[in-house]
Amino acid sequence: MFQKIKPKRISDEIYFQIRDLILNGELKPGQKLPPERELAESMSVSRPSLREALNKLVAQGYLEQVQGGGTYVKSITATSIDNAIEEFVKRDDAIFDLMEVRKILETWAAYAAAERASEKEINNMFEFLEEMRIAKEHGQIGYISDTNFHFAISHATHNVLLVHVMNNIYQWIERVSYEIRSRMHNKPDSHELLFRHHTDIFNAIKSKDHNLAYGKMLVHMNYIEQELERIFNKGKQKESLEDS
């Protein structure tokens, strides 16, 4: 009836520690792990034991190793559905389905962030907003700062699964909409308008007004959705004229 208790191998201890850091959100999707030597020293373990644990985490989809580029945290929602999504995003109208899902998640994220965001998380949002302001003054949108601003809101919900899901959604949107987004942001007034949207969202979250944060994010999402529809339909009309 009783079984002998076996001491855990060092590599298993390492595996569970890193896995738990990913699952509780301390290690975030896309985050790069320290170099192997540094990580082994910080955990007081041998490099072979660490390497064994990392290989197991890679095999199970928690980490991704880039040749010559290090080891990164992988989204925990990606492994089982990535192949299906690869086919899905080939559809012409895939961007609109993705935007609907994004709208649902991001409006809730803004609502929750207004209730839960720490002072440090508010400061992180402000830093990305400032980067967007500087980009705007140079006639640019600041795609990376824009994306990081939205990720900062997701992190401020303290919902680990949401962070991983949003990471995937942004990757999928990027695959199908880079050209469309570039054309959308080429409008003369788009830089100022988009910056104002983000400023309104930030101010609502900072003031902890969750209903206002929800509403301001909804305004932003609706605008993006409308612009995508305008550009998509314009492209379709152009194709029809060329075919006729």
pLDDT of residue 86: 58
- The pLDDT tens digits for 19-64 are 888 888 889 888 999 999 999 999 999 999 999 999 999 888 889 8
Q: How many CB atoms lie within 10 A of CB 67?
A: 5
pLDDT of residue 215: 98
Output phi, psi for 157, to 5 deg.
-75, -20
Quick one: average pLDDT of 138-161? Answer: 90
pLDDT of residue 179: 54
Higher-scoring residue by pLDDT: 241, 236: 236
Q: What is the 3-state secondary structure (H, E, C) of 20-88?
A: HHHHCCCCCCCCECCCHHHHHHHHCCCHHHHHHHHHHHHHCCCEEEECCCEEEECCCCCCCCHHHHHHH
Q: Give the CA distances from residue 30 to residues 74, 102, 135, 144, 181, in Å, rounded to whole numbers and listed in that order.
A: 6, 19, 24, 14, 22
Higher-scoring residue by pLDDT: 117, 179: 117
Of 130, 125, 121, 122, the closest CA to residue 148 belongs to: 125
Structure tokens at 12: 């298993």
Q: Is the pLDDT of residue 74 over 70?
A: yes
Of 99, 144, 101, 148, the closest CA to residue 121 belongs to: 148
Of 60, 69, 48, the closest CA to residue 18 belongs to: 60
- The pLDDT tens digits for 168-226 are 888 777 766 655 666 566 665 788 899 999 999 999 999 999 999 999 999 999 999 89
Structure tokens at 234: 């314009």
pLDDT of residue 76: 73
Of 89, 113, 100, the closest CA to residue 212 belongs to: 113
pLDDT of residue 229: 85
User: pLDDT averaged over the chain?
Assistant: 84
Quick one: average pLDDT of 85-101? Answer: 72
Domains of the chain: 10-73 (1.10.10.10), 82-243 (1.20.120.530)
User: What is 86-149 written as a DSSP string?
Assistant: HHHTTSTTHHHHHHHHHHHHHHHHHHHHHHH--HHHHHHHHHHHHHHHHHHHTT---HHHHHHH
pLDDT of residue 82: 56
- What is the C-alpha separation between 121 and 125, in angstroms, rounded? 6
- Mean pLDDT highest for which of 72-76, 129-133, 227-231? 129-133
Total number of residues shown for the chain: 244
pTM for this one? 0.72
pLDDT of residue 99: 87
Higher-scoring residue by pLDDT: 104, 95: 104
Higher-scoring residue by pLDDT: 130, 1: 130
Q: Give the CA distances from residue 202 to residues 162, 193, 196, in Å, rounded to whole numbers and listed in that order.
A: 19, 14, 10
Output phi, psi for 131, to 5 deg.
-65, -40
